[in-house]
Structures are given as structure tokens and as C-alpha cells.
Amino acid sequence: MTLRLLLLLGLIVPAVASVPCFAAAADRVALVIGNAKYPDADAPLTEPVNDARDLADELKRDGFNVDVLENAGGEAMRHALDRLYGKIKPGTVALVFFSGYGIQSNRQSYLIPVDAQIWQEADVRRDGFSLETVLGEINGRGAGVKIALIDASRRNPYERRFRTASAGLAPVIAPTGTLVMYSAALSAVVSDSGRDHSLFVQELLKEIRVPDLSAEETLNHTRVGVTRASRNEQVPWISSSLAEDFTFVTGPAGNRPAGGAAETNVTPPPAPTPSPTQVVVAPPAPPPAPPMPSPAPSPVQKADTPPPAPAPTATPAPVPPAASNSPSPEPNVAPTSTQVALADDPTVKSLSAKIAANPDDVSALYRRGQVYASKGAYDLAIKDFDDTIRINPKDVEALNNRCWARTVIGELQTALRDCNEALRLRPNFVDALDSRGLLNLKSGANKNAIADFDAALKINPRLTSSLYGRGLARQRSGAAQEGALDIANAKAMDPNVVQEFESYGVR
């Protein structure tokens, strides 16, 4: 299976020790971005814009010259970054905050603008903004302290099935003098709360308002607060190479610019202990490791990892093909409401125009198939994958995607042929192993399902679909305790995984 894909950013530069309580605005600059309305998402995010506004207000009270962007596309983000770079001179304090969707690709974290068109790995690097690149540019302009505050650890709309990037964010290789904080652990994701503000920003604002805390102390207290408030379900990640102290607020609360309100209790609470089933990367106090596969690179990085032996070819029990959920249009038959809605979708319109101009445009056919599949129009998706494979019979991505779509609607025999062919052409293709695991699970071949999910998890231990699917297969095979542990770990990483499998007809 192939469609699962999150990032965010912030920066600060230190004030010189001899400056007064609040450096001049020119000495502290900030770029604050809140991206909520992504056309590819089912609904706008509720948190980023409010979080960006509140953080921007706080930073202004702390003496920052703040540039605020809401629902920014690629050009707007590029121009805003250029403005930020232009304000930086030696010793400037520069802060960049990003809330929205982020994606890990090729071991880097990318901030995603609202108009990004992401279909494959290369598109992430084309449309996204690398956190490492931004930090490097700010450092090159002479900023003293760089602080990245990243609230983008959400499961994103580009990551659902038809791609192979890892969930969550990657560690940052940043220049000296940098403090980076992610709102969740490396490679971990959290669901958008549906509230007006994120837990991460709520706790961050509390700590920023405490006078005379160093930046490191502010962020460490924020991590403890988020971890405690979430009952260990969300554990922020911090990386620091600061060579000098920086303080958001100095002196008593009365010395702050008008509008600021400082907290007086600066004693950090004890770090909570993560639960045994939690999968975390950088908790305040590491728990005993759960019995899961040891971490390995994500599928897009698996060239560095010796491939496991391919899982045995499965032959599920014969199952009659199920009727499609989204019948394709036929002559003299009125189109369904789903087809009408899809025809009006701007992405579908654009791709359909390309296909009309060139019926053998394999890229447009494949991408339109992805859109149809992500929206549940499986028959239409399969037709586009049919044409893709007709033009290029060795397209393993299209074979895997057609296998998965056929599996979802119950066409298990033809789906099996697609998955087996994809794995013949690309042995140890993690997405095809995951797809075939689902196929075996639906057909009742639980041992074969476990073998496929095992092979997929050896390549990517954080592939929640394989972890949850293996848990179900283990329970159905009589290994109730092992299955329950797999399911608990999968749900900890992705609370929506149960609903996802139910949409495939698997409970």
C-alpha cells in the first residue's frame, strides 16, 4: 500500500549579553507561518492560524519585528523567507515558526505550502521548503542564534496510501548556534485536535512569558508541559547547539513591553514517565523498549539497509469479485454525484485536460488514478491504472496501487496478481508487501498476512498499516497478546488507523 505522509519550523538568534532588557526590534526578527487550508485535505486545520497569530503577538511584545503569513502558497513563503534573510545582520535574533503540514523526505524535513502539488518524492523537494536549507541560509547571513519551532507533526493528506515517504519529521543537521524543537517525537505524528489552539503552542506561550529563562529552559519546560498534558501521547523533540544564552524575556514582568504577562513559577515539573506501549524517540526519560522491530530507515532511505528476504507468495482462498463502490460511467447512464463532484475537482480537471490532449500521458493517468483512489472512486482509479500499465507494463507503483484498490473493493484474485508482479519486478517493495498483507488479511490467509507485514516492518518499523494489520492477523491466529501489543503501538502512532482499516472493510 502506498499513501501515507508532516513538518514545521522556527528560528531565533541570541541577544548579546550587554544589551538592555529588550533589544531593538531590528535586532530580533521573526517569520511566523500558519497554514491551515490545504485543498488536498478533507477539511481545513483548526489550529495553525490562531496559533500563528497568538505567537506573533507574543513575539512582538518581546521586541521582535514579526512577519506573519496565513495560508501561504509557495511564492508567498519564498518571498517571506527572502524578506527575513534581508533583515538579518551579524548578531540578529531570527525566529521562524511554521504550523501546518510537514513531510520527511530523503532524511530531511520539508515545510509544505498550501498550494503544493505532491504526487511523488521529487515533488516534496520541488514544492516544499527544507528546514536545513532555511537554517543554513539564516546562518550564512550572520544570525547568532537560530531557533526552529516546528509544529507540523500531523498526518498529512499526501501520505495516505499512494506514496512511500515516512511519517513525521526527520532530525535536523543544523549549524552551530541552533535550537530546534518539533511538537512531537521524530517520525511520530499527532492528530489535529480540532480545538482552536494546539497543545504545543499553548504550553510554549506559557513558558515564553516566564522572565529570565534561557531559550533552552523555555523549550525544555514546554516539552515537559506537553508530555504531561497529553499523558505521554505527545513528546516534543529538541536539538540544541547553542553556544551562548538567549532569553525571550528578561527581568520582572513589569519590564516587558505593554501587553505582556509573565508567569512567576519557573520551577520545572518532574518529567513524566512514558507508558510502556508508547513509541517515542526523544522522551524526557526513555521507557523500556516495547517488543517492536528496531528502528530502520524509511522506505525512501532503504538503500542503506540490507533488504530482507521476500515474503512468500500468498494464494488467498477464492473470493468472488465484489461489486465496485464507485461504478464507472457508461453510455446513456447518468453520472453519479461522486462522479460529478470529481469532474469539478480542479486537480481532476487539469489532469483530464492533459489526458484529452494526449491519451497516452502516463504521468497524468497515474496521478489522476491517485486522486480517484484517495477519494474512494476505486473503479475510476483502476481504469487509470489499467491505462498506465498498458503503456508501461513494468510500472511497479501503478501495479501496487491497482493491487491495493482492487483489494479494497474485494477483487482479491486479480489484486494478488498485481501485487506479485510488483514484487517480482521490485523485490522487497515495502508498499506492495503492505498491500499484499491487507489482501491476505481480507482473504483469511492470516499466516501469509503476518509474513508480508513482518517483511514490510523490517524495512520500515513505523509503517502503522503493517503494524495494525499484523496485530489483527496475530489475534485471528490465536496470538492475542502479541496482536494486542501491535494494535496498541499502531494506534499510539496513528489514532486514525482503526477507522482507516474499517474503510477497507477490515474490523
Higher pLDDT, 133 or 121: 133
Work out the percent of the chain whose per-residue pLDDT is above 90.
Answer: 49
Smallest Cα–Cα separation from 181: which of 202, 210, 152, 156? 152
Least confident of 133-137, 192-196, 322-326, 394-398: 322-326
What 8-state DSSP symbol labels residue 26? G
User: What is the H or E stretch that residue 28 is in?
Assistant: strand 28-34
The domain 25-255 is placed in CATH, from the list 3.40.50.970, 3.40.50.1220, 3.30.70.960, 3.40.50.1460, at 3.40.50.1460
CA atoms of 180 and 165, how far apart (whole Å) = 22
Work out the percent of the chain whose per-residue pLDDT is above 70.
Answer: 74
Read off the pLDDT band of 207 (50, 70, 90). Answer: very high
CATH 1.25.40.10 boundaries in the chain = 319-328+335-503
> Residue 339: pLDDT above 90?
no
Cell of 355: 489526458
> Residue 127: pLDDT above 90?
yes
Q: How many helices, marked H, and strands, marked E, lie in the chain?
A: 17, 9
Whether 93 and 23 have beta carbons less than 8 Å apart is answered as yes
Smallest Cα–Cα separation from 345: which of 367, 315, 323? 367
CATH 3.40.50.1460 boundaries in the chain = 25-255
What pTM does this model have? Answer: 0.56
Higher pLDDT, 318 or 338: 338
Q: How large is the average pLDDT for residues 196-224? A: 92
CA end-to-end span of the chain: 18
Q: Which residues pair with 238 in a beta bridge?
A: 181
pLDDT tens digits, residue range 278-333? 333 333 444 444 444 433 333 333 333 334 444 444 444 444 333 333 333 444 44
pLDDT tens digits, residue range 250-280? 655 434 443 333 333 333 434 433 333 333 3
The domain 319-328+335-503 is placed in CATH, from the list 3.40.50.150, 3.30.460.20, 1.25.40.10, 1.10.3470.10, at 1.25.40.10
pLDDT at residue 387 in the model: 96
Q: How far is it between the farthest Cα atoms of the chain?
A: 80
pLDDT at residue 8 in the model: 34
Q: How far is CA 61 from CA 49, 209, 216, 256, 423, in A?
A: 19, 10, 20, 7, 58
Q: Based on C-alpha coordinates, what's the Rg of the chain?
A: 24
Of 188-192, 218-222, 425-429, where does the model show the most confidence? 218-222
Burial class (CB in 10 A: 0-12, 13-18, 19+), 9: buried
Mean pLDDT of the chain: 78
